[in-house]
């Protein structure tokens, strides 16, 4: 719960920062922390979504199983505060989406020096965007990847899905205040904070892979024009545009735009 307490503390600062400002679709400051504090209820996308820098739960050894064995939770990966600052468009393997609808072009971009496998990042983004439970079905659109060569040639890109260090996230999301903790949508970029990408958040617990699906869908959702939402009822699945990193509001974590 340390992350949530940190984010809630930040939320007060974000609310002050955005007072009187026009609500915009910027997410995941703590995800919308003022264009970087996404998880702050009531701050319509002028905050970014938490890419938590707070430490993950310490390794623990659960009670012995019936077979007498024990399970140890591995330590959280190290998250550098800064990479090189150089963003590179990376190839996305696999064919284009067979879906029909309005075309939405995207690139997958990774800051250098993060210590991540860019191919894994690209595959994760692609599988999330093309998932049957994703925005293609919800919005009746078709995601079209723009290759590094096409991007270099000046091909138009609607959404740049960019994995960045906490330090670069703060700069890309400004004037939203992500405080190195959350992600955001800003100026054509779905900025995914490396801290959240590597550590996840309280709502998803140790299921970091599932959190990444939420992180991508939430920030891309802003790029498609969707604003933040609130939990529709106790125990229900949280709509993807709920700032789930900050609070589920009584809902159950759900990382997809649709429920099927």
Asked, for residue 252, whether it belongs to a domain, the answer is no
pLDDT given for residue 43 in this prediction = 32
Burial of 229 (0-12, 13-18, 19+ CB in 10 A): middle
Asked, for residue 69, whether it belongs to a domain, the answer is no
Asked, for residue 242, whether it belongs to a domain, the answer is no
In tens digits, the chain (260 residues) has pLDDT values of: 545 655 544 444 443 333 333 333 334 444 444 433 444 333 333 344 443 333 333 333 343 334 445 556 667 788 999 999 999 999 999 999 999 999 999 999 999 999 999 999 999 999 999 999 999 999 999 999 999 999 999 999 999 999 999 999 999 999 999 999 999 999 999 999 999 999 999 999 999 999 999 999 999 999 999 999 999 999 999 999 999 999 999 999 999 999 75
Closest CA to 216 of 136, 128, 119, 142: 128
Q: What is the CA radius of gyration of the chain?
A: 18
Asked, for residue 176, whether it belongs to a domain, the answer is yes
Asked, for residue 257, whether it belongs to a domain, the answer is no
How many residues are recorded in the chain?
260
Secondary structure in 3-state letters for 110-164: EECCCCCCHHHHHHHHHHHHHCCCCHHHHHCEEEEECCHHHHHCCCCCCEEEEEE
Asked, for residue 245, whether it belongs to a domain, the answer is no
pLDDT given for residue 11 in this prediction = 46
User: Considering its fold, how many domains does the chain have in total?
Assistant: 1
Closest CA to 160 of 98, 227, 90: 90
Residue for token digits 């940190």?
6
Contact present, 102 and 140 (Cβ < 8 Å): yes
pLDDT given for residue 7 in this prediction = 58
Q: What is the dihedral of CA 39, 41, 44, 46, to 10 degrees?
A: -50
Extract the tokens encoding 122: 């690209």
Enclosing domain of residue 34: 2-55+76-223
Determine the Cα–Cα distance for residues 7 and 46; give it in Å rounded to an integer.
15
Asked, for residue 255, whether it belongs to a domain, the answer is no
Extract the tokens encoding 231: 């939990």
Asked, for residue 228, whether it belongs to a domain, the answer is no
Q: Which residues contact 196 (CB under 8 A, 6 or more apart)?
A: 28, 31, 49, 50, 51, 52, 181, 182, 183, 211, 215, 245
């Amino acid at each position: 719960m340390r992350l949530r307490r940190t984010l809630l503390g930040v939320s007060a600062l974000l609310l002050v920062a955005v007072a009187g400002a026009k609500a915009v679709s910027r997410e995941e400051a703590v995800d919308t922390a003022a264009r970087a504090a996404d998880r702050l209820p009531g701050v319509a996308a002028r905050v970014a979504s938490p890419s938590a820098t707070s430490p993950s739960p310490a390794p623990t050894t659960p009670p012995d199983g019936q077979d007498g064995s024990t399970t140890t939770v591995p330590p959280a990966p190290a998250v550098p505060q800064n990479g090189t600052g150089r963003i590179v468009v990376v190839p996305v393997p696999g064919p284009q989406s067979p879906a029909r609808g309005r075309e939405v072009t995207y690139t997958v971009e990774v800051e250098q020096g993060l210590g991540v496998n860019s191919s894994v990042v690209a595959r994760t983004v692609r599988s999330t965007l093309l998932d049957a439970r994703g925005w293609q079905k919800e919005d009746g659109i078709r995601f079209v990847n723009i290759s590094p060569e096409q991007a270099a040639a000046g091909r138009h890109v609607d959404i740049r899905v960019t994995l960045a260090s906490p330090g670069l996230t703060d700069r890309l999301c400004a004037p939203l205040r992500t405080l190195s903790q959350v992600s955001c949508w800003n100026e054509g970029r779905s900025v995914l904070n490396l801290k959240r990408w590597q550590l996840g958040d309280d709502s998803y617990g140790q299921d970091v892979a599932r959190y990444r699906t939420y992180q991508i869908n939430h920030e891309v959702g802003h790029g498609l024009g969707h604003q933040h939402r609130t939990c529709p009822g106790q125990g229900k699945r949280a709509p993807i545009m709920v700032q789930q990193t900050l609070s589920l509001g009584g809902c159950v974590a759900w990382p997809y735009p649709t429920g099927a």
